[in-house]
Amino acid sequence: MKKHIFIILALQLMLLVGCSSNDGKAGKGTLYKQYASQPALTVAELSNFKLNDSITVNVVMVQADSDESWQKLKDSLDIRGTEGSVSWLGNIDNPAIRTTWNGKPVTRVVASHPRHTVGFYRIDNDEQYDALIDYQLNNI
C-alpha cells in the first residue's frame, strides 16, 4: 500500500513541477502594469517571443479598444499620422522618447494604425538587436 501511495505522490510531484515550470515573468513588467491599469486598453505581455533558434525577447502589446483610447495612446507616445505602421527605438523607461542603439537596454516600438496596437519589444543586448533586425528583414 505504501508503495502505491509513493508512486502516486511521485507522479503528482512530477506533474506539478511540469506545470509550475511554465510560470514565467509575464505580467510583472513595469510597462505592462502601467498600461494594464488603464481603461479601454487591452494589454498583453509575452515572455520569450522567439526571434530565431536561440534569441528571444519580451514583448508588451497594447491594443486600444476604441478610437478615443487609440488617439490617447498615440498622443502619449507622440505618434503622428493615421495610416500604416511606424517604428522607433524608445527609451527603456519612457518609450515615447526616441533614442538610438548604444548597447544599453531600449525598446523597439512598433505602432500599427489599422490594428490600433502598439508593440514594445525589449532589447537588452546586441544579439537581440541584430536578431530583431534579421527577423524583420527575413520576413519582408
Partner 1 sequence: MDEKRFEELWERAEAESYATKLSKEYPAWRTRRQRTMATAAIVLVMAGAALPMLSNPTQPTYDIACNRSGFADQYWVDVADQLLKEV
* Contact residues for partner 1, defined by CB under 8 A: 1, 4, 7-8, 11-12, 14-15, 18, 22-28, 32, 36, 41-50, 59, 61, 63, 84-87, 110, 112, 115, 117, 119, 121, 132, 135-136, 139-140
For partner 1, give the closer residue by CB, 22 or 102: 22
Q: CB of residue 79 vs partner 1: minimum separation in angstroms?
A: 13
Q: CB of residue 34 vs partner 1: minimum separation in angstroms?
A: 11
Name the nearest CA neighbour of 56 among 68, 71, 46, 44: 46
Query: 87 near 99, Cβ under 8 Å?
Result: no
Q: Tell me which H or E stretch contains 18.
A: helix 2-20
Q: CB of residue 71 vs partner 1: minimum separation in angstroms?
A: 19
Rounded distance between C-alpha atoms, residue 24 and residue 48, angstroms: 9
Query: 118 near 73, Cβ under 8 Å?
Result: yes
Q: CB of residue 104 vs partner 1: minimum separation in angstroms?
A: 21
